[in-house]
Amino acid sequence: MERRTFSPKSADISRDWHVVDAEGKTLGRLATVIAATLRGKTKPSYAAHVDMGDFVIVVNAEKIKVTGNKETDKVYHRHSGYPGGLKSVALKDMRQRHPERIIEAAVRGMLPKTTLGENQFKKLKVYAGPRHPHAAQQPKELAV
């Protein structure tokens, strides 16, 4: 009896849409569930070299919860590429200006640092408030 390793083809992949309400959820715990869904690890036909993941919509990103002193101590850095171009923003300031970037940064760090990871990250849609424009996709509630 000959056994072969299963490798999913592009025709075998079905992508669903999921919606998550981030209100009152802890940042890291929410991000791990989202990253696993984007990668497709929740599916029985998961293969690490293929983008098997689903689309994820996150609403109420501004109401995400963090533990401890992260609200004041956690700092996000970015660099322009020029000398002296390092910019640092605290989590509380990021929450006021761009609350969706908090979840995006947490999830991006949990995905592969390859083109596959970039494509998986593009399936994440984050919105600061309770509304999103993806009602036509009929998203299902994602259990967190």
Contact present, 88 and 76 (Cβ < 8 Å): yes
The single-letter code of the amino acid at 59 is V
CA 26 to chain centre: 14
Whether residue 12 is predicted with pLDDT greater than 90 in this model: the reply is no
pLDDT at 118: 97
pLDDT in tens, 15-30: 999 999 999 999 999 9
Q: Where are the domains of the chain?
A: 16-67+93-141
pTM score, whole prediction: 0.93
Residue 36 pLDDT more than 80? Answer: yes
Fold of 16-67+93-141: Ribosomal Protein L13p; Chain: A; (3.90.1180)
Collapse the DSSP code of 34 into the 3-class scheme (helix H, G, I; strand E, B; otherwise coil) and give the result: helix
Inform me whether the pLDDT recorded for 78 exceeds 80.
yes
For 68-75, what is the mean pLDDT? 95
Q: How many CA atoms lie within 13 A of 21 on its CB side?
A: 6
Distances (CA, A) of 112 to 36, 37, 115: 11, 13, 8
* 79-102 pLDDT, tens digit each: 999 999 999 999 999 999 999 999
Structure tokens belonging to residue 105 = 């940064």
**Residue 143, Ramachandran bin (φ over 0: left; ψ between -120 and 50: alpha; else beta):** beta
**Considering only CA atoms, which of 104, 126, 108 is closest in space to residue 117?**
108
Integer Cα distance of 10 and 101 in angstroms: 31
Distance CA(143)–CA(133), nearest Å, equals 21
Contact 49/116 with Cβ under 8 angstroms?
A: yes
